[in-house]
């Protein structure tokens, strides 16, 4: 299921009620948090109602502006397990971090609809990337912090001990960095132009005490019956990311969607992005991943990203990050 920012079919009642409770506990009336979102507390209390990405974005923008800076992390700890029944049952049965993260990569949008999670592996590490539903790596701070806190707290609780995380944050070091230190821990790296958690592959297979392969299989069967939403921008991003050596054109993406080029451009613009932005994001993310893993040299990376030569790639990389590839690796 691919949605535009205005379509209402994100079922987020449990998440939103949890956020409203947190809001009240901090002395703020829930109606102030909901202001301008088109969502109302009495409707949420009455039953499950669908919301759009734009509504959730407005709600989280309000939360970032009105609530204390620890609330995004506390909200994230509430999300997993618990905010979505079928996914929570599967996660509770995960025998190790590797299985839990694989589940989240498939179904994260059920509990984190403004973020999408993907896994990438090199010989040493698992690279867990988070990207926004609208392609904005630098905004959506509340949703990003909540998502990272959800992953960290889930793995800590199910595993019985904290893992050795490394964090890559696209944005600059915030004034409230102590909240990152308290709620995430690990090694914090800001201004990296990508949002990701990094975990050594050795930690992925450490046995968790609550795990059960039989219960996990049964829970997966229930999950497979659910429709998993994905934003149109996220879909377009992955079409580009998976085929960067010969990226599909805007016309080809429109044909796959069965719409005109003008319609696709308009829908992407409504989500706050464009074809070129998504293509740049895909190239930047893959470049950073390979530069950090040391898997490819600059010339090989330029070819992989469909650049004619390494000089064009270096110019693009500096435009994205303000640094040359060599300077980025040294930073």
Instruction: Give the distance, in angstroms, between the CA of residue 15 and the centroid of all CA atoms in the same chain.
Output: 16
87 and 222 inside one domain: yes
Torsion sign across C-alpha atoms 122, 125, 126, 127: negative
235 and 194 inside one domain: no
Given 22, 44, 67, which residue is the final one in a domain?
67
Residue-wise burial string across 258-296, b where 16 or more C-beta atoms lie within 10 A, e elsewhere: eeeeeebeebbeebbbbbebbbbbbbbbbbbbbbbbeeb
Q: Can you tell me the distance from the alpha carbon of 118 to that of 105, in angstroms, rounded to the nearest whole number?
A: 5
Q: How many domains does the chain have?
A: 3
- What does the pLDDT read at residue 308? 85
Torsion angle in degrees (nearest 10) through CA of 280, 286, 291, 297: -90
85 and 213 inside one domain: yes
37 and 103 inside one domain: no
Residue 182 in tokens: 């308290």
- What does the pLDDT read at residue 227? 80
> How many residues are there in the chain?
331
- What does the pLDDT read at residue 159? 95
pTM of the model: 0.93
Which CATH number covers residue 249? 1.10.10.60
Kindly report, residue by residue over 287-330, the tens digit of the pLDDT: 999 998 887 889 999 988 888 889 999 999 999 999 999 999 88
Given 211, 228, 245, which residue is the final one in a domain?
228
Q: For the sheet containing 196-200, what is the strand order?
A: 115-121, 125-132, 196-200, 166-168, 187-189
63 and 76 inside one domain: no
Which stretches of the chain drop beneath a pLDDT of 70?
1-4
213 and 76 inside one domain: yes
Given 43, 67, 91, which residue is the final one in a domain?
67
Helical spans, DSSP H, in the chain: 13-25, 30-34, 41-46, 53-66, 71-79, 85-92, 97-107, 141-159, 177-183, 201-204, 213-223, 232-241, 250-257, 261-270, 275-293, 298-304, 310-321, 325-330
Residue 173 in tokens: 């070091």
Q: Can you tell me the distance from the alpha carbon of 262 to that of 128, in angstroms, rounded to the nearest whole number?
A: 34
252 and 190 inside one domain: no
131 and 250 inside one domain: no
82 and 220 inside one domain: yes
172 and 245 inside one domain: no
Q: Which domain holds residue 106?
A: 69-228
Residue 201 in tokens: 């592959």
């Amino acid at each position: 299921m691919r949605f535009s920012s205005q379509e209402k079919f994100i079922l987020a009642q449990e998440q939103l009620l949890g956020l409203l409770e947190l809001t009240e506990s901090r002395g703020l009336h829930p109606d102030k948090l909901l202001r301008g979102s088109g969502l109302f507390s009495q409707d949420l209390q009455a039953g499950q109602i669908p919301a759009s990405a734009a509504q959730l974005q407005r709600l989280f923008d309000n939360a970032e502006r009105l609530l204390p800076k620890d609330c995004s992390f506390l909200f994230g700890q509430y999300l997993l397990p618990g905010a979505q029944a079928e996914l929570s049952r599967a996660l509770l049965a995960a025998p190790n971090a590797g299985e839990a993260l694989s589940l989240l990569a498939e179904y994260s949008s059920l509990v984190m609809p403004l973020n999408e999670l993907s896994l990438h592996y090199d010989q040493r590490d698992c690279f867990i990337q988070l990207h926004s539903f609208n392609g904005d790596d630098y905004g959506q701070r509340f949703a990003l912090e909540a998502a990272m806190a959800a992953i960290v707290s889930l793995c800590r609780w199910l595993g019985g001990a904290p893992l050795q995380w490394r964090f890559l944050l696209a944005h600059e070091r915030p004034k409230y960095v102590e909240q990152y230190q308290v709620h995430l821990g690990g090694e914090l790296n800001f201004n990296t132009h990508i949002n990701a958690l990094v975990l050594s592959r050795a930690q992925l297979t450490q046995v968790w005490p609550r795990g059960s392969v039989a219960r996990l299989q049964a829970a997966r069967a229930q999950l497979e019956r659910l429709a998993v939403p994905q934003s149109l921008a996220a879909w377009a991003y992955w079409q580009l990311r998976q085929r960067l050596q010969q990226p599909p054109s805007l016309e080809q993406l429109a044909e796959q969607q069965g719409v005109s080029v003008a319609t696709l451009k308009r829908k992407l613009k409504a989500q706050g992005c464009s074809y070129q932005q998504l293509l740049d994001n895909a190239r930047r993310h893959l470049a950073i991943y390979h530069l950090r893993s040391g898997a490819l040299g600059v010339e090989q990376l330029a070819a992989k990203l469909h650049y004619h030569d390494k000089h064009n790639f270096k110019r693009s990389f500096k435009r994205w990050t303000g640094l040359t590839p060599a300077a980025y690796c040294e930073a």
